Structure 1
Amino acid sequence: MTIKQLRAFVAVAQTLSFAQAGERLYMSQPALSLSIKALEDGLGGRLFSRTTRTVNLTPEGHALFPLARRLVAEWDNVEDNLRQHFTLRRGRVSIAAMPSFAGNRLPSMLMHFRERYPAIGITVHDVINEQVVEMVRNRQVELGITFEPASDLSMKFKLLYLDRFVAVVPRDSPLIECTKVCWEDLQTYPFITLQRPSAVRVMLEESLSIGGQKLNVAMESHQLATIGRMVGSGLGVSVVPSLCIQQMHELGAHCIPLANPVIERPIGMLTKADHELSVAAQALADILEQLSV
């Protein structure tokens, strides 16, 4: 059975007229008759008893009618549902993003997406860098926003921008008058940073070790917001990606460019190399790329 044959059968069964059914389906009567005959041949018996004046359902036709009507309705629902997905009038997209991005740059980007595609639902997984990579790898999400991971042929990374790390100090710190802060000066104060296995923590330690320096940690936390509040309260200093500057200011801290060494890391979109994005996910990826220029 084909959907065309079922539509023809339902139309004739509802109208008990080949002429009216043909008009409803925009089909000629010969074409309609051929569809019904093909359906009957395929099933192995007659579905209509026909005379020159009347058309009636056979017992087998009566048995098929409610089933065929439901199948056609379900097909139409599926077709409409998919069409709405393809035209971005329905759907959902899941994205994983590291906290520094999810809590700072992502909300304004999602606002642009919602303004353009208000019917698309969005799920955001605010997780550490390593979990972003795992969620993309395991197909739990279609898109990930992360620092560039180690080379992996199963993954595809698209650069959005380079992020330069900045120093975070209390607003009453003597360092606030500096246009730049070097690590040597910064580490004379209690240093507050993210706990392992945070990618930010690892990057800081690796960058300092290249120059023979060591990260002397006085306090640590799992959340950037907590670190910003701790620095703002005068407990110490920190270093965070520059995409956190606004967040740090809101938490009562002050950000200053960092020098010796300058730390830069690529941030971008991560996808599975062999996975074609859904229409909704591709639309979100396009907006993320446009707004990162």
Structure 2
Amino acid sequence: MDNRQLHAFIAVFEERNITAAAKRLFLTQPALSTTIKMLEDSLGTPLFIRQPRGVEVTEDARILYPHARRMVAEMEALTQSFKRERNRQPLEIGIENDIANSQITDFLHHIHDPEFNLLVNLESGCEGDIRFGCEELRCEDELFLPLNTEPFILAMPSHHPLAEKATLTLSDLHGLCWIMCPKLSSHQRLLPIYGATANSPAANAGTFSLALCLVTQGLGVAIVPESLASEHPQIITRSLPGHTLSRRTGVCYAIQSLTQPAVSQLIQHLSQ
């Protein structure tokens, strides 16, 4: 019993007519009849009884039919599985620091689209065919496709005095114990908010994520992207008064990487 015989059997069973089944399978009637006869011989039982106008199915044919449909479906699924695996397109993606898990999840949701059939390799940092990160970190020769825009907010421990205020004023920011990230490109934009205390931080951190760890320990307050602060439910956040600082996160990619079908298709999909 092979796949060809099963397809022939299913066609005759469903059509109840050798001529119609032969047309459906693009076979001649003699070829189809021979295939059915070979199947009947291998099973040791008749499956169809010829009538003046079509065929009558036997009880054994009724028993075989659901099994034949299942076996054909499983073989087709297995074949497609091997073809799909062979045609998968590799795509290496770098994930920069200080990207919230929620934004990474949303980004990967797009990549998971079955139409891409990608073999994804995630790496941390400045790696890969494309990178998911902050616009400020893109290289000079890279293009940037924005996917998210978010504000910078003030993050503080739950016991901080300002946590009792729903809305802050500019005067509330004076003299705070700031946790700063001087190595980050956004640091220069935050200096006017730090004011006179810019040279005397309560602590420094290499990333916003590390700064938030210091905030949870009560070492001070920090200005961080909203999405990162939302991952710490024990932290209190407030909008920055008098300032509309924001950042964009998205895909950084070199124009030459568009020669790769995986990159080209993904960028086109994300741009819609």
Calculate the TM-score normalised by the size of structure 1: 0.53
Report 1:42-61 matches (<5 A).
none
Report 1:162-173 matches (<5 A).
162-173=149-160
Corresponding position of 1:231: 215
Amino acid across the alignment from 1:168 = A
Aligned equivalents of 1:268 and 1:173: distance in 2? Answer: 33
Aligned equivalents of 1:149 and 1:233: distance in 2? Answer: 28
Aligned equivalents of 1:150 and 1:226: distance in 2? Answer: 21
Shift of 1:122: 2.5
Aligned equivalents of 1:183 and 1:98: distance in 2? Answer: 32
What percentage of residue pairs aligned between the two structures are identical? 17
CA contact (8 A) 1:163 1:265 kept: yes
Report 1:105-254 matches (<5 A).
105-114=103-112, 116=114, 120-127=118-125, 132=126, 140-148=128-136, 152=140, 154-182=141-169, 184-196=171-183, 198-205=184-191, 208=193, 215=198, 216-249=200-233, 252-254=234-236
Shift of 1:218: 1.5
Shift of 1:169: 0.7
Shift of 1:253: 1.1
CA contact (8 A) 1:170 1:237 kept: yes
Change (3 A) 1:188 1:280: same
Aligned equivalents of 1:191 and 1:144: distance in 2? Answer: 28
Shift of 1:106: 0.7
Aligned equivalents of 2:146 and 2:106: distance in 1? Answer: 19
Change (3 A) 1:107 1:117: farther
Amino acid across the alignment from 2:150 = D
Report 1:59-70 matches (<5 A).
none
Aligned equivalents of 2:241 and 2:96: distance in 1? Answer: 24
Shift of 1:173: 1.9
For the residue of structure 2 that corresponds to 1:181, the secondary structure is coil
For the residue of structure 2 that corresponds to 1:275, the secondary structure is helix
* Cα-to-partner distance string for 1:132-184 (whole Å, 9 max, x where unaligned): 4xx5xxxx4334432246894x3322233432101001112222233343454
Calculate the TM-score normalised by the size of structure 2: 0.56
RMSD: 3.5
Change (3 A) 1:200 1:97: farther
* Cα-to-partner distance string for 1:15-50 (whole Å, 9 max, x where unaligned): xxxxxxxxxxxxxxxxxxxxxxxxxxxxxxxxxxxx
- Stretches of structure 2 that go unaligned for 5 or more consecutive residues are 1-82
Aligned equivalents of 1:277 and 1:102: distance in 2? Answer: 29
2:94 aligned with 1:96: yes
- Stretches of structure 1 that go unaligned for 5 or more consecutive residues are 1-82
Change (3 A) 1:145 1:226: closer
